[in-house]
Every structure is written in C-alpha cells, then in structure tokens.
Chains A and B, each alone.
Chain A
C-alpha cells in the first residue's frame, strides 16, 4: 500500500466494497448458470442437478448450426480485426494527426449497437442496390450480390465493433516497447518486416494474443449488429434473443445463457491467469537480476 499511515480497517473496508461490487456484477450470471443445472428450472424450491437442459440445447440441430455460424464469424472477425488493429497501433505511433486518428478508431465504442446496426443496414442495402445498378448499366453479372446482407456484411459489422478493443489492448502492450530496438535492428541491416517480426512482435505477442481472446468473446457475444446485418443465417446469441422474446425464460434459455457465460469465462479466465502468471514470472526474473551477486 502507498499510504503507511492509513487505517488498515479503512483499507480492508474498501477492499470489501470493491469485492462486493465484483460479486454484484457476477452474481446474476452465476445464478443463471445455477438455474441452468436445475432439473426444475427457475423458481423451484427443490434443486436437482442435471445436464438435461444442456443436452436439449446441444441436441437441437438448429442451435448446433447456429453455433457453427458463430464460430465461423468469430474466426473471420479475428482474421480481419487483429492485423488491422496491429496496423492501426503502428500507424498511431508514427502519425502526427493522433487526435483525428484516435477519434476515428475509437468512435465505434460510443455508437450504440442498434444505431450503428441500423446505419450499416441501410448503407449495405444501398451499396448492394448501387452495385446491382452498375452491373445492369455495364451489362455484366459480376456485381450481382455484392454487399447483399450475409456473412461478409456481418463480419464488417463485427470488425467495426471489435476493432477499438483490440486496438487499445495492442496499443497498451506497444507502449512498453522501446522504438530504439527497431532502430538498432534496422541499423544492423534488417528490413522493416524483419525488424517487426523478429524484434517487436515477440515483445507485443501477449497483447496480440489477448486481443485475439477479447475479439473471440466479443464476436461470440455480439447480438444486435449481427441480427441486423447477417442476412439468412443465425448465430447463437440471435437464437437466444429469439428464444427469450418468443418462448420466454425456459430451461433451454438458461442453458444457452449458461453456455455463453461459461465459454466467455473460460476464455477470459485463461487470459487473466496467463497474464498473472507471466507478470509474476517476469517480476521474479527482474528481482533476481536486480539482486547483487554474492561473493564467495
């Protein structure tokens, strides 16, 4: 602690408050997971542990297909977002117009999902009509179907949504990297790519992998933009929304919410544990290097 004179009870109370807020934020989710394992569902006095609701969900062909689409979408989003976030972070370091660039990159964070989804929906519909008109004018069929609502438009919507998070995570990792190392590599004859791949990337790798995990989770959880832009397929979260609005709070809905929470917690939990273990290891190594060598 920084303040040696602060009352220890005061500090303990603040820790209790902090943990109580974390508990309050997580409690509903754990409670939902708890219900999803109850044979009798929500509100029952008796609790009988079962996997039945999960069996029902995983035995439903439509839900399994929606899970596959969710996975494809997540893979495509990662493949597009991470290289773009890396390029953005590199560009941010070298550009003089930092404010304008950051404003452009981080603005999607401040635009609500429904508003962005609506705007993109109309944009893509107009774009598709524009390309269809162009194809008709040139008398070629090549432009047919460009930007029709579907997988590509859903990926674009998700990239816009996930990119700011990946950009911030990579930028934070990059802020600890000293550019003199790149300069040294370049002075030794390395090309820009070699300097990046062999010198810089190993040091920012943790940030890149963490952003991969974040993007996976964000993509997996995203519902609103995807619902508006996806066209003819369904993702898992869209199925959950439909289930909640049409059928209500059934055992199946709780199991679906449980799957989404457990997957998120596993992925993010692993990142957090890995980050903590790595920080501990680096700290130990730094302490060992700082200790004076004992003479015999």
Chain B
C-alpha cells in the first residue's frame, strides 16, 4: 500500500540547487552582463602582461641609458653596441648551435613520433607519449645540472667507454664546450619535437598510410612524399620551439658551456647585471623579431593552425 506522500515527486537533491540571485542583480550577473565579459579576462591579462611588455621592449631598446636605469629618448646606441661588438658574433654562433640542436632533435625524435602514430594502437598512443612527459616535467635546471656528472671527465659516459676499452683516456670535449651546449639543448628540448610531430600526425587519417602501403610505396618515398609534408606544421612548430629556446635559455651555456660560452639569453642577462637595460631590451627585441619572423614564415608555408585540428 502506498501513501499519497509516496506518489509525490521526489524532492530535488539539495546539493544540486543553486539559489537564484535577486532580480535586480540578474541583469548584471546574467549572460549579457558579467558572464559575457568574464571570458575576456585571459585576453586582457595576456595583452596587458605579455603582449604589451613584448611590444614595449622595442620602445625601451631605443631609450637612453643612465647610470642605473634609462630615460625616454631616441638612440640606436644599444643596437650599435650590439652589432659592433663580439655580441653579434656570439649571437650568430648561438644561432648555429641552436640549428644543430634542432637537426639532432629532429633526427632522434621525429622517427619516434612517426612510430607511435603508425605502429602503436590508437588506445595506447597517448600512453606511450606519456613516457616522454615525465622527463619533460622534471626541472630543466635539474636536467641540465644532471648532465655535468654524466658528461664530465669522470662521468658516466667516459667511465663506461673506458671500462669497455673503447677509450684510453676521457673525452673532455663533451662538457664545458659548444658540443656540451648542443647536447644540453637536445636533452632539454627533445620531447617537444616528439609531442609536436605526434600532434601533427594525429590529424593524418590512417587510410592515407594504408593506401600508400597498398600501392607499394617504399619507406623513403612514404616518408618524403607523405609523412613529411603532412607533419610539416608540427615539425616546424617543434623546430621553432627548440631553436628559440636553445638561443634564449641561458642556463645551458652557463652550466655546460664553460667560460666564453654564451647565447642570446645569457647576453641579455649579462646586460641586466651590468644595468645596461636598453642593451638588454635591444637583444630581446632582436630575439622577438627572429621568433616572429620564423613563425610568420612557418605559418605562410605550412599553416600552423593545422596542428590544433585534432583538439579543435
């Protein structure tokens, strides 16, 4: 037997109820009020604290230097100082080292991205990618620092090679040298080539690979004519990331490069320590222009928005 109370609709779950705001507030809190504008907070924040400082860097780079700071004016002294000193040469060298780091990262990392995309089952692909998240998430500082006992005179590499009888005396060229900087850059940024390559390949449908296999395309042809063009946006994004960070992260030459090793980031840092703020801003400006130019060329050539297709 059921009572009348049992037939009544069940009470709504209290935890799910939200008290309605008073009528006069609804206009302000409603979807045409605050709710509409709240989505612009990140845009405002990034324009104010990221885009504006980056743009103003150009302005500050032409300010006049004072003893401890700078004052408004227009002078190209900082640029003149940069281009007519050893700094410009160091900048070009750091570009060369960064290009070598990109190339090595591509040769080591991109085949892994292709392998994961083509040979690992769809369900397991992201799990394999997670393997590379772990080293990427350990502090770059620690990873670079950890290279010292590995590459050093009495480090793991030399000890193993000497124990195996391959070397009679330790190699000293792999630490506190340009080669040490390149190794450090590759170890620091390699996972990014794998992530970006994989993300770009994720947008490529499986049937494309199957058709190539069915038509008997060889590995080289498949790689050069199919995989490379389709993954070009990802490869480019990964390459720019590695290139720019290899040039701009001062930690690597500081810890692995030894005396005299510099990159753009370190030159900017040294200028700040010397309280030469216009010079630091001039170096930052040159770096930002390099970055913007690379991204613009990349976007025109490969349409970088394609990388985001799988998550759009």
Contact = CB atoms under 8 A, between A and B. Distances in A.
Interface of A: 1-3, 6, 11, 14, 17-18, 21-22, 24-29, 31-32, 35, 42-43, 84-85, 87-88, 90-91, 94, 98-99, 101-102, 104-105, 107-116, 118-123, 125-126, 156, 159-160, 163, 168, 171-172, 174-175, 191-194, 198, 214, 217-218, 220-221, 223-224, 228, 237, 240-241, 244-245, 249, 253, 257, 260-261, 264-265, 268-269, 272, 275-276, 279, 283
Given A2-B119, A32-B142, A18 B112 contact: yes
23 contacts: A18-B131, A28-B143, A84-B45, A87-B38, A102-B308, A110-B295, A111-B54, A112-B244, A115-B284, A115-B288, A118-B284, A119-B56, A119-B57, A119-B284, A159-B45, A175-B310, A217-B137, A220-B139, A240-B145, A241-B251, A264-B137, A265-B134, A275-B130
B50 A25 contact: no
Given A118-B281, A241-B251, A253-B145, 10 more contacts: A18-B115, A22-B131, A27-B156, A35-B149, A107-B50, A115-B268, A122-B53, A159-B49, A194-B18, A224-B251
Name the residue in B57, B145, B248 with the highest tally of chain A Cβ atoms < 10 Å from its Cβ.
B145
A192 B272 CA distance: 48
Nearest to A262: B138
A3 B47 CA distance: 48
B11 interface: no
B287 A115 contact: yes
Contact of B265 (A2, A114, A237, A260): A114
Contacts of A275: 130
Given A99-B305, A109-B241, A245-B254, A221 B139 contact: yes
B227 to A, nearest CB: 14
Contact of B247 (A21, A29, A112, A116): A112
A249 B50 contact: no
B168 to A, nearest CB: 20
A283 B209 CA distance: 26
Contact of A91 (B18, B43, B138): B43
Nearest to A173: B311
Contact of A105 (B42, B54, B280): B42
B contact patch SS? helix
Contacts of B39: 87, 90-91, 94
Interface of B: 16, 18, 31, 35, 38-43, 45-47, 49-54, 56-57, 60, 69, 108-109, 111-112, 115-116, 118-121, 123, 126-128, 130-135, 137-143, 145-150, 154, 156, 187, 190-191, 206, 209, 213, 240-241, 244-245, 247-251, 254-255, 264-266, 268-269, 272, 277, 280-281, 283-284, 287-288, 291, 295, 305, 308, 310-312
Contacts of B127: 276, 279
Contacts of A3: 118-119, 213
A123 B308 CA distance: 32
A6 B139 contact: no
A141 B209 CA distance: 68
Contact of B244 (A26, A43, A101, A110): A110
A249 B269 contact: no
Contacts of A214: 137
A122 B281 contact: yes
B46 A113 contact: no
B288 to A, nearest CB: 7
Nearest to B55: A119
A175 B51 CA distance: 27
Contacts of B135: 22, 25-26, 29
